Amino acid sequence: MSHLLEVKNLEVKFALRFGDITAINDVSFTLDKRERLGLVGESGAGKSVTGFSIINLISKPGFISKGSIWFEGNEISKYNDAQMREIRGNRIAMIFQDPMMTLNPVFTIGFQMVETLLAHRNISRAEARAIALEKLKKVHIPSPEQRLDQYPHELSGGMRQRVIIAISLLSDPAIIIADEPTTALDVTIQAEIMDLLQELCETDNMGLILITHDLGVVSQVTQKIAVMYAGKIIEFGPTDQVVHNPVHPYTIGLIGSIPGSIPPGQDLKQIPGMMPTLTDIPPGCAFNPRCELKQDICTRETPVLMEKQNGIMAACHMK
């Protein structure tokens, strides 16, 4: 059976004045119906670019230089702009971090929802409004009829993010890509939004790609995790395995550096240094300058993602 979404050996480059830099390097993963995948990493690891490239939102000077993306058995990475518009926002929806930036401040919620529907479907304005109302109910917005005629500034951050989710649900997408959907929100609101996303995956048979830097959130919501570092997936596996028995030294360090993973007052485990910029990724394993287990081979050969233990794949020479 083919997967809902399959990303094969994806490589994304940005053509800059001094040459091409590789933002995504040989990234592969699959997503099935009702599956929730987490893409985790620090800023600049390439998690958002991965999300964008799935629906071909990479703008110049970026381009997909290698690899392919398959959605419901079709190679969507070969689609032209017109074909892509049928997929983007329709079959694969994306939710962004800042709900204030994604909603247009000068139009009402209802207008923005109806507009989206009319762009994708051949229905009347009244029908579109009915669908919009139904979706607002689905994301548990209180008094949805009233909200349709409100402007984004009249809603709180959590409500706005619910509206965004409702908009993304308008066309009954098969996949939602959520790029840091709760980073701008408070922790109690975050918990509600995450509950909602999980619930929707179950009730609507959707796949979810959750892009975040927060390992705590990912470990509660997703079933699989891909940990990214300097444009590569360096560890991939079932969430509870990756969280409890991580293999790659970077993942181990990342989990150790979260306050709460160790008794209060003790020193947090810290990873020395910082992630290299994409312009000077060290030869061999990109993590080698920060790694405790570094050997000669790490500076010479790039490790490939291999099956290690308990269903975890990791790219490390030493494990």
Partner 1 sequence: MNAQEPLVKISDVVKHFDISGGYLDQLTFKSGRPVLEKTTVKAVNNVSLYVEKGETLSVVGESGCGKSTLARVIMGLYPPNSGSIHYKTDRIDNLTHEQWLPFRRKMQMIFQDPYASLNPRKTVRQTLEEPLRFHNPKMTNGEIRDKIADVMQQVGVDPAWITRYPHEFSGGQRQRISIARGLILDPEFIVADEPVSALDVSIQAQILNLLMELRVKRNLTYLFITHDLSVVHHISSRVAVLYLGTLCELADARTLFETPRHPYTRALLSAIPKVGEQAAKHIKLKGEVPTPVNLPPGCVFHGRCVYAYDRCRTEAPRLTELRDGTHVACHAVEEGRSLD
Helix (H) or strand (E) holding 227: strand 224-229
| Residue 108 contacts partner 1 per CB under 8 A | no
Dihedral class, residue 46 (left if φ above 0, else alpha if ψ from -120 to 50, else beta): left
| Residue 156 contacts partner 1 per CB under 8 A | yes
**How many residues line the site for partner 1 (CB under 8 A)?**
45
| Residue 269 contacts partner 1 per CB under 8 A | yes
Give 21 or 271: the residue with its C-beta nearer to partner 1. Answer: 271
Burial class (CB in 10 A: 0-12, 13-18, 19+), 277: exposed
Give 128 or 194: the residue with its C-beta nearer to partner 1. Answer: 194
Give 123 or 191: the residue with its C-beta nearer to partner 1. Answer: 191
Q: From the list 22, 53, 190, 288, which residue makes contact with partner 1 (rule: CB under 8 A)?
A: 190
> How far is it, in rounded angstroms, from Cα 154 to Cα 282?
49
| Residue 271 contacts partner 1 per CB under 8 A | yes
Q: From the list 31, 117, 159, 278, which residue makes contact with partner 1 (rule: CB under 8 A)?
A: 159
> How far is it, in rounded angstroms, from Cα 51 to Cα 208?
11
Q: How far is the CB of 229 from partner 1 (least distance, A)?
A: 10
Q: How far is the CB of 63 from partner 1 (least distance, A)?
A: 27
Give 244 or 300: the residue with its C-beta nearer to partner 1. Answer: 244
Give 128 or 242: the residue with its C-beta nearer to partner 1. Answer: 242
**Backbone phi, then psi, for 208, in 5-degree steps?**
-125, 130
> How far is it, in rounded angstroms, from Cα 241 to Cα 187?
25
> How far is it, in rounded angstroms, from Cα 268 to Cα 262?
7
Helix (H) or strand (E) holding 51: helix 47-54
Question: Which of positions 202-231 make contact with partner 1 (CB under 8 A)?
Answer: 213-217, 219-221
Starting at the edge strand found earlier in the chain, the sheet holding 92-95 runs: 92-95, 175-179, 207-212, 36-40, 224-229, 232-238, 312-314, 306-309
Looking at this protein, which amino acid is placed at residue 251? T
Give 7 or 281: the residue with its C-beta nearer to partner 1. Answer: 281
Q: From the list 62, 253, 284, 303, which residue makes contact with partner 1 (rule: CB under 8 A)?
A: 253
Whether 128 and 114 have beta carbons less than 8 Å apart is answered as yes
**Backbone phi, then psi, for 67, in 5-degree steps?**
90, 175
> From residue 275 to residue 294, what is the string marking binding to partner 1 with x (rule CB under 8 A)?
x-------------------
| Residue 143 contacts partner 1 per CB under 8 A | no
Tokens of 238: 């079932």
Burial class (CB in 10 A: 0-12, 13-18, 19+), 167: buried
Give 257 or 302: the residue with its C-beta nearer to partner 1. Answer: 257
| Residue 98 contacts partner 1 per CB under 8 A | no
Q: How far is the CB of 264 from partner 1 (least distance, A)?
A: 5
> From residue 33 to residue 72, what is the string marking binding to partner 1 with x (rule CB under 8 A)?
---------xx-----------------------------
In eight-state DSSP terms, residue 288 is: G
Q: How far is the CB of 36 from partner 1 (least distance, A)?
A: 11
| Residue 270 contacts partner 1 per CB under 8 A | yes
> How far is it, in rounded angstroms, from Cα 273 to Cα 281?
13
Q: From the list 268, 293, 297, 304, which residue makes contact with partner 1 (rule: CB under 8 A)?
A: 268
* Residues at the site binding partner 1, with contacts judged by CB under 8 A: 42-43, 156-159, 186-192, 194-195, 198, 213-217, 219-221, 240, 243-244, 253-261, 264-265, 267-271, 274-275
